Amino acid sequence: MPAAPVPTPPMLLPLPGEEARAARLASALGWRLGQPELRRFPDGESAVRADPAVAGAPAVLVASLDRPDDKLVPLLLLAAAAREAGATQVVLLAPYLPYMRQDIAFRPGETASAFHVGTWGARHFDALVTVDPHLHRIHDLQQAWPVAQCRVLQAAPLLAAWIARELPRPLLVGPDEESAQWVADVAARCGAPHVVLAKQRRGDRDVQVSVPDVERWRDHQPVLVDDICSTARTMIETVHHLLAAGLAPPVCLAVHGLFAGDAYAELQAAGAARIVSTDSVAHASNGIGLDAVLLQGLSALNFG
Ligand code: R5P
């Protein structure tokens, strides 16, 4: 009886800036690293070409989607190109998944962008692998991204290991109720106490944070943990309140360090002892690599 044909290994197709990550993951998984071409026409439109060698195998597009409005058009075009080139499945590996905070219309006339972006994506991708998407009012990512396979990975074990390795007597602090899920999980994993504060957002850059009874933690090292640091207003207000309460300068830990505009410098100036993010989005604050969890997520995909 002839031996069953060996399936062609999946091919990782990195978007610009993701080449090194894709090469590491391909090497660790024994998958192939493709050479997609992306460029702009003189009028600013995107021109893409999938690696033709993707034919007959799954394609995994690697794209962390900070600055999403610059990236979504080339991403969706490359997904279409990969399928037309003969990819058997098209997967999106997006360590940072954008638009998840716009999960309702906050004012009449607005729209819940999360669902629109997810629907666009689901038209082109069979599977999505991402890390700690901002699931607040959306509890199941597939509600927004209706793809056949969704792998939601957690950075919590890596954050907890980093805290346990780097910081004595940590007190984990969640700047708002939405952060409670990350903070409680990370605290439990590193055996540290945690508190969650109350936040009121009055505008894009106007955030008020109130601190309940923090004086009892004076001999601890505060560690602010949040999923996203964008304008950093949430962390800056929290740093101010913790310092005013007489606590030590806090370490600020973000899963996704977006740091819009001068946010990073402003958070440093506010008195953060250290600012550390995972490498979901390339930034000077990156101190925690996500490869271990990304490898788990990719290995768990079913290419049946
Ligand atoms: C809130 O919903 C998120 O969990 C973060 O707290 C928020 O995105 C941080 O935003 P910013 O850095 O702009 O205050």
Q: What residue's CA is closest to ligand 1, atom 3?
A: 228
Q: Is 233 in the pocket of ligand 1 (CB under 6 A)?
A: yes
Which candidate, 133, 44, 203, places its Cα nearest to that of 117? Answer: 133
Residue 207 CA, closest ligand 1 atom number:
14
Q: Are 198 and 140 in contact (CB under 8 A)?
A: no
Distance CA 111, CA 129 (A): 25
The predicted structure's pLDDT at residue 213:
67
Ligand 1 centroid–CA 230 distance in Å is: 6
Pocket test for ligand 1, best of 101, 228, 233 (most atoms within 8 A of CB): 228
Question: What is the C-alpha separation between 43 and 17, in angstroms, rounded?
Answer: 22
Q: Atom 13, ligand 1: which residue's CA is nearest?
A: 231
Residue 263 CA: nearest ligand 1 atom is 12
pLDDT, one tens digit per residue, over 81-90 is 999 999 999 9
Query: What are residue 288's DSSP bridge partners?
Result: 278
Give residue-wise pLDDT tens across range 46-66: 999 999 999 999 999 999 999
CA of 161 to the centre of ligand 1 (A): 23
Q: Which pLDDT belongs to residue 285? A: 98
pTM of the model: 0.93
Quick check: 36 and 13 in contact, CB under 8 A?
yes
What are the CA-CA distances from residue 118 to residues 60, 152, 269, 281 (Å)?
Answer: 17, 14, 37, 20
pLDDT on residue 8: 93
Q: Which atom of ligand 1 is nearest to the CA of 229?
A: 12
Please tell me if the CB atom of residue 178 comes closer than 6 angstroms to any atom of ligand 1.
yes
Tens digit of pLDDT at every position of the chain (304 positions)? 777 778 899 999 999 999 999 999 999 999 999 999 999 999 999 999 999 999 999 999 999 999 999 999 999 999 999 999 999 999 999 999 999 999 999 999 999 999 999 999 999 999 999 999 999 899 999 999 999 999 999 999 999 999 999 999 999 999 888 788 789 999 999 999 999 887 667 777 666 666 666 667 889 999 999 999 999 999 999 999 899 888 999 999 999 999 999 999 999 999 999 999 999 999 999 999 999 999 999 999 999 8
Using a 6 Å cutoff on CB, does residue 280 contact ligand 1? no
Kindly state the DSSP code that residue 36 receives in the 8-state scheme. Answer: -
CA–CA gap between residue 291 and residue 165 (Å, rounded): 18
255 lines ligand 1 (CB under 6 A): no
Residue 129, CA distances (Å) to 115, 162, 167, 257 in order: 17, 23, 30, 19
Q: What is the Å distance from ligand 1's center to 65 Cα?
A: 16
Nearest CA to ligand 1 atom 7: 228
Residue among 277, 221, 291 at smallest CA distance from 249: 221
